[in-house]
């Protein structure tokens, strides 16, 4: 059976997991792997949101990126046919106009600071969020840690600063790497970006099974 080995490890929780409703915000180098992991693990009621098309520079790390010039969400829909694909830019206006409370869990893999902070503020109780995964080489440095304890990550620092501005003081955990960036330019390694996505999936499965 397709999910036989999933059932063996998740036990009685598996049926509950299959009924979960999840949304993934951003399906690039991190979110794409989170999608693949969830789908292979029996969670197929998934909505994905992104506005980009695949580019040649995505091919070192993104699932589906052989389809250069094609909408990410529309192409991923062909690979994972049960999902719902929404092609939209996740900005402050989109967040204001879309209520995500209908979902059991929200996975945030976007890299725009202000929308990310707004999502954390609104949905931190049902959110799995990532910080910076680019410019790193060592997946063993990935942790699930309180946002206020993150370090060595300029992206996480910006998130903390913006959260302070809006007086957000919750003990919110994020997927984070303690590894210092290894380059200044937009370098990326699928061993880390993909591991971030798999870590998202793992934390999602854990939260959904409770």
pLDDT in tens, the chain (210 residues): 899 999 999 999 999 999 999 999 999 999 999 999 999 999 999 999 999 999 999 999 999 999 999 999 999 999 999 999 999 999 999 999 999 999 999 999 999 999 999 999 999 999 999 999 999 999 999 999 999 999 999 999 999 999 999 999 999 999 999 999 999 998 999 999 999 999 999 999 999 998
Residue 177 lies in a domain: no
Instruction: Say if CB 164 and CB 121 are below 8 A apart.
Output: no
Instruction: Say if CB 125 and CB 104 are below 8 A apart.
Output: no
Q: What is the pLDDT of residue 49?
A: 98
- Burial class of residue 206, CB neighbours in 10 A (0-12, 13-18, 19+): exposed
Tokens describing residue 36: 């693949």
The residue among 79, 113, 84, 111 whose CA lies nearest residue 98 is 84
Residue 180 lies in a domain: no
State which residues form the domain around 201.
4-130+189-208
Please tell me the distance from the alpha carbon of residue 64 to that of residue 168, in angstroms, as a whole number.
Answer: 36
CATH number, domain containing residue 32: 3.40.50.720
Q: What is the pLDDT of residue 83?
A: 98
Residue 103 lies in a domain: yes
Instruction: Say if CB 108 and CB 116 are below 8 A apart.
Output: yes
Task: Indicate yes or no: pTM above 0.85.
Answer: yes
Please tell me the distance from the alpha carbon of residue 85 to that of residue 74, in angstroms, as a whole number.
Answer: 6
Residue 151 lies in a domain: no
Instruction: Say if CB 201 and CB 68 are below 8 A apart.
Output: no
Q: What is the pLDDT of residue 1?
A: 84
Tokens describing residue 134: 């680019």
How many domains does the chain divide into?
A: 1
Backbone φ and ψ for 113, nearest 5 degrees, come out as -60, -55
Residue 98 lies in a domain: yes
Residue 155 lies in a domain: no
Instruction: Say if CB 205 and CB 6 are below 8 A apart.
Output: no
Instruction: Say if CB 167 and CB 3 are below 8 A apart.
Output: no
Residue 160 lies in a domain: no
Q: What is the pLDDT of residue 81?
A: 98
């Amino acid at each position: 059976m397709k999910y036989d080995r999933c059932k063996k490890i998740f036990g009685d929780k598996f049926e509950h997991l299959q009924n979960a409703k999840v949304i993934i915000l951003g399906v690039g180098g991190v979110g794409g792997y989170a999608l693949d992991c969830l789908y292979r693990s029996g969670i197929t009621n998934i909505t994905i949101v992104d506005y980009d098309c695949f580019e040649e520079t995505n091919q070192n790390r993104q699932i589906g990126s052989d389809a250069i010039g094609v909408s990410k969400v529309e192409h991923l829909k062909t690979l994972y046919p049960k999902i719902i694909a929404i092609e939209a830019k996740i900005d402050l206006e989109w967040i204001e106009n879309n209520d995500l409370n209908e979902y059991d869990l929200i996975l945030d893999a976007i890299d725009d600071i202000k929308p990310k902070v707004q999502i954390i503020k609104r949905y931190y109780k049902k959110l799995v969020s990532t910080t910076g995964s680019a410019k790193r080489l060592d997946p063993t440095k990935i942790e699930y840690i309180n946002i206020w304890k993150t370090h060595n990550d300029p992206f996480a620092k910006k998130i903390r600063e913006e959260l302070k501005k809006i007086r957000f003081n919750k003990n919110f955990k994020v997927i984070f790497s303690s590894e210092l960036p290894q380059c200044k330019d937009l370098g990326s390694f699928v061993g880390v970006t993909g591991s971030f996505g798999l870590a998202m999936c793992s934390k999602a499965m854990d939260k959904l099974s409770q």
